[in-house]
A and B are shown apart, each in its own frame.
Chain A
Amino acid sequence: MKYITKQNAERRTWLTRVLLLGVSVCLHPLSALAKKPEALEAIQKIVGSNTLNEGKVKLVLPPLIENGNLVVLKVGVDNPMTEQNYVKAIHIIAEGNPLPNVFSAYLTPRSGTANITTRVRLAESQKVWAIAQLSDGSFWQSSVQTMVTTSACTEEP
């Protein structure tokens, strides 16, 4: 005979609820991507109703950043860059910045490669996204988690 005490029943209900919550969070795709709603919105504006695939994009940022005011960012997309198949745009989104959009590059079949280097500002330790739009209309992404430190002695104006 199974003895289900009142406490056990309450615990089971609680556990089931938590489990359902966890599963639903995992199932809802975009919410698992970006933490902040502004970043989510910015990504949504770029991608629209298309699927955001993972892969093809290589985003390089230093894992430990001494000062977030000037960080070298390298992004590249594995793509032949021909008239029939090229990278149309690369967008950089910084989740933890006051404005998530950081930089957008628009390429053409004359670009040769889809490798871009620039220097960005990162307000705090955060996830940075690179979203590439190909000429066939597909969207691909990659992200890097950064740790940003700041100077110990900051100045008084």
Chain B
Amino acid sequence: MRIVHIIICCIGITSTYLVTAEAQTSARQSGYQSMSAENQALQDDPNANPAVFWLMDGQTLWKDSAGPKQKSCASCHGESGQSMKGAATHYPKVMSGKLQTLEGQINQCRAFNQGLPQFAYESKQLLALTAFVANQSKGLPIDVQKTANNQSDLKKGHDWFYQRMGQLNLSCAQCHEERAGLKLGGSIIPQAHPTGYPIYRIEWQSLGSLERRLRNCMSGVRAQPFEYGSTEMAQLELYLMWRARGMPLETPAVRP
């Protein structure tokens, strides 16, 4: 009987923990909230936001007919880019059996539909196009759900998030779940919701992608960073976007 009591207590404690863990995630906050007022103002003002030039470059690239087929993004998707409204909120997603990030999808379109070489990760062009596309969804809630198609990738992404890595032997969760809101050095640890990517990170003095930021984190714990465009990256990104589901997209955000 005693053993049954112990088991029931354990179940009770675990379920309470899980319930409160769920309650905690409902108090989610974008990194925007932990920024100084000056940096928030920088993000909010569309003319002063340093990402404005990447958006303009993205718009030019969108309309640029090139390659053997002389096709532009606009040829299929329309001049204004408004057809992309909502698109960025669904990525990463599984398409034809492959987990695809937004950057990956843009490159895929370039190669297959335009017959052009793919843009390198973190290149000005890829950042500009990604920012332009994602900006069409600004204000819309992130809509990455768990489906039969993505559930194994989502599980892997979840595992990456909770797995200790690197010489410092830290997991993402140890800082960004357990210690979010506390300080690391002079900075407030954010909850790490990718609500504004690609972001203008003041530290980079440039626009950059989520993958670049994740690589920074991994170098930060002295782990071997995932490669750009790798499956592990996409899985982690999928988990992070799923974790941020319902939060509004802020692209292009400014972060310190």
Q: Which residues of A contact B (CB under 8 A)?
A: 62, 64-67, 69-72, 149-156
Known contacts A64-B36, A66-B36, A72-B42; A151/B219 CB under 8 A: no
Residues of chain A with a CB closer than 8 A to B117's CB: none
B26 at the interface (CB under 8 A from A): no
> How many residues in B have their beta carbons less than 8 Å from beta carbons of A?
25
Known contacts A62-B38, A64-B36, A66-B187; A155/B216 CB under 8 A: yes
Minimum CB–CB distance for A138 against chain B, Å: 32
B7 at the interface (CB under 8 A from A): no
B84 at the interface (CB under 8 A from A): no
Number of A-B contacts (CB under 8 A): 61
A65 to B186, CA, bound (A): 10
Task: Pick from A70, A152, A156: contact of B202, CB below 8 A.
Answer: A70
B205 at the interface (CB under 8 A from A): yes
Contact indicator B35/A152 (Cβ below 8 Å)? no
Contact indicator B216/A153 (Cβ below 8 Å)? yes
Contact indicator B42/A153 (Cβ below 8 Å)? no
A149 to B36, CA, bound (A): 12
B215 at the interface (CB under 8 A from A): yes
Known contacts A150-B203, A156-B219; A66/B39 CB under 8 A: yes
Starting from the known contacts A69-B205, A151-B187, A153-B184, 15 additional A-B residue pairs (CB-CB under 8 Å) come to A62-B36, A67-B39, A70-B42, A72-B38, A150-B185, A151-B185, A151-B256, A152-B184, A152-B186, A153-B219, A155-B212, A155-B219, A156-B215, A156-B219, A156-B225
